[in-house]
Amino acid sequence: MKLHEYQAKGVFADAGIPTPDSELAETVEEVVAAADRIGYPVAVKAQVQVGGRGKAGGIELADDEDEARSAAESILGMDLKGYHVDRVLVEDAVDFTNELYVGVTMDRGEGKPVAMVSTRGGVDIEEVAAEDPDAIAREHVDPSFGLHPYQARRAVYDAGVEDAVARDVASVLTTLYQLWDGRDGADAEINPLMVTAADEVVAADAVFNVDEDALFRQPEMADMEEESASGDELERKADEYGFDYVRLDGNVGIIGNGAGLVMTTLDLVDHYGGAPANFLDVGGGAKAERVSNALDMVFSDPNVDSVVFNIFGGITRGDEVAKGINAALEGFDEIPDPVVVRLAGTNAEEGMEILNTDLVEVESTLEDAVQRAVELATEVEA
Ligand code: GDP
Ligand code: MN
């Protein structure tokens, strides 16, 4: 579960990490009022849970009321990488000399938490990790002892952080580790941690993802989830329908019954040169209502250009699934994206005969179905 930037900043600030003065706003007037209170210049930042908002036009700096107004007008209501922006964070714009990165996550390879520092902040840290892994200083942590003070200092020193702020950066890293550990974090990240001309450090961005399986013992985090879930229409829908759903950034919608089957379909879409738009497991028993809810999910994603439906009939027989798919598609006035179906297992033959080929394309192997869906998605793109 991901916190919004404003929520993560609240958690960080409460723990003593310096953050800019800020206020959440939902309308242009609220933005202007907030900016007035905070004082210009301000940064107006879209509150959606995706990285790279800066490059995508979701962050603007404003020096006066006119600029704040026009920033608010262009960001509020915009579509940012498929997310509707309904709130912005208005914050004191930091005048910085340097952008650092600090982060804590689980290093699965080592089986240990890892605390990281880099002087190459402000850009996508995954890119830095791929191009120049030595630019990120890493300290593995024994969770029963926590991050030792000498480790925090060594990470800061190894990263080459300037002396004037070294002590402060080590202290931010220590606090970030304590939050990650104490609040059941999955990833905690400040990118950028800005260095100001006065040699102070300020968390200009904040990421905090919580381990969902620990939410039962993190009531404060669970409350924030409710607040943040309202941001994404599709994830809220998935919750309502009771689906396991993960949104991805491609354009081939994927529906299957069983997590393994869906994962396999995802891999095959990638294998044939396509890009999956989502993971969606409808679970056992593909009754018409569940099928139609699943289709509603993928059709509502504006990024989807084609859909592949991969069903393995076990206890649920193929002919029943086929009836479900027909009934679901007949319920739509217009089918927004082409749907390719592959049925296998119990009564698959009967199912394929029942499927209404005016509404769907039918393929007898998974490979063919995936290739066809990738082809259809590419045609739409072109
Ligand atoms: P992200 O693109 O979604 O990771 O959003 P960030 O909050 O990291 O902002 C991206 C970039 O916008 C930063 O690296 C800065 O260059 C710039 N930026 C964000 N906040 C401020 C600010 O308060 N002052 C200034 N001058 N630049 C900012
Ligand atoms: Mn950032």
**Could you tell me if the CB of 59 is within 6 A of ligand 1?**
yes
226 band by pLDDT with thresholds 50, 70 and 90:
low
- Is 189 considered catalytic here? yes
Instruction: Dump strand ranges (E) for 119-211.
Output: 136-140, 185-196, 201-203, 207-210
**pLDDT, tens digit, 9 for 90 and up, residues 119-165:** 999 988 889 999 999 999 999 999 999 999 999 999 999 999 999 99
- pLDDT given for residue 238 in this prediction: 87
The per-residue pLDDT of the chain, averaged, comes to: 93
**Mean per-residue pLDDT for 218-230?**
77
DSSP state of 212: G
CA of 51 to the centre of ligand 2 (A): 6
DSSP assignment of 292-339, as one string?
HHHHHHHHH-TT--EEEEEEEESSS-HHHHHHHHHHHHHT-SS--S-E
Domains (ranges, CATH) in the chain? 20-92 (3.30.1490.20), 96-223 (3.30.470.20), 233-377 (3.40.50.261)
**pLDDT, tens digit, 9 for 90 and up, residues 263-299:** 999 999 999 999 999 999 988 766 778 888 899 999 9
**Could you tell me if the CB of 53 is within 6 A of ligand 1?**
yes
**Could you tell me if the CB of 51 is within 6 A of ligand 1?**
yes
Ligand that lies nearest to the alpha carbon of residue 19, given by its number in the listed order: 1
- pLDDT given for residue 287 in this prediction: 72
- pLDDT given for residue 124 in this prediction: 85
Ligand 1 atom 15, closest CA: 122
242 band by pLDDT with thresholds 50, 70 and 90:
confident
DSSP-based three-state secondary structure for 140? strand
pTM as predicted: 0.72
324 band by pLDDT with thresholds 50, 70 and 90:
confident
DSSP 3-state percent helix, strand, coil across the chain (nearest 5): 40, 25, 30
pLDDT exceeds 50 at position 72: yes
Ligand that lies nearest to the alpha carbon of residue 5, given by its number in the listed order: 1
- pLDDT given for residue 232 in this prediction: 65
- Is 83 considered catalytic here? no
The amino acid sitting at 339 is: V
CA of 381 to the centre of ligand 2 (A): 30
- pLDDT given for residue 230 in this prediction: 45
Ligand that lies nearest to the alpha carbon of residue 102, given by its number in the listed order: 2
Ligand 1 atom 12, closest CA: 54
**Could you tell me if the CB of 205 is within 6 A of ligand 1?**
yes
Ligand 1 atom 19, closest CA: 204
Lowest mean pLDDT among 4-18, 71-85, 180-194: 71-85
**pLDDT, tens digit, 9 for 90 and up, residues 203-218:** 999 999 999 889 999 9
Residue 251's nearest CA partner among 302, 304, 308, 309 is: 304
